[in-house]
Amino acid sequence: MTDQFAYPPDREEASAKKVAALEALLIEKGVITPQTVDKVLAYFETEMTPLNGKKIVVRAWKDAAFAEKVVADTPAAIAEMDLPDGMAGAEGEHLQAVANTSGVHNLVICTLCSCFPWPVLGLPPYWYKDPTFRARAAREPRKVLAEVGVDLPADTEIKVWDSSGHSRWFVIPERPAGTEHFTDDMLMDLVTTEAMIGVALAGPAS
């Protein structure tokens, strides 16, 4: 996925240097402290991570009643689970799940480039905010999906969901066949952030 919408290596390196320079300047001026930076990083490494989304997906795969509820009333369904406090904050307001089926594939974008369900997907991939991806995914989703390896049957309906301050969408991908005897950990290994955005299918990493 990242190869399709990747920045050139020199641009990535330049961006990383700018971020590091800004962080150093803010610390030098006393606006933030190194401890603040560490705390924020730890928050996203331990609390707001794709692991939360993986747990939600696996619960939906194994529990039909939960699968229905997580689509009908996502916040209420998530509240039943043992997930970190603060799931409703930090871009977690108005979470809404949509489920892939054999005849429907869901793709999540953000044309405003500002809304992403951090509590269930972690930080957004850099390509997700790329103007090329956002524009093409909205205009020609089937073609974009095919380019990144998601070749869907011609009769599969593709629904594109635009995240906003009112609804922050994420996808419950289809459970891969032949996983009936998988443990929860094995199932979670099949779920990626890309699958929960809809630019990949759940399954073993290629």
Active-site residue numbers?
110, 113-115
The length of the chain is 206
HSE value, Cβ hemisphere, 13 Å, CA-based, for 17: 6
* SS3 category, 137: helix
Is 206 flagged in the annotation as binding?
Answer: no
Distance from C-alpha of 90 to C-alpha of 126, rounded to nearest angstrom = 18
Is 167 flagged in the annotation as binding?
Answer: no
Tokens representing 201 are: 């299918």
Phi, psi of 132 (to 5 degrees): -65, -50
Q: Which residues are annotated as a binding site?
A: 110, 113-115
Q: Which residues are annotated as a binding site for Fe(3+)?
A: 110, 113-115
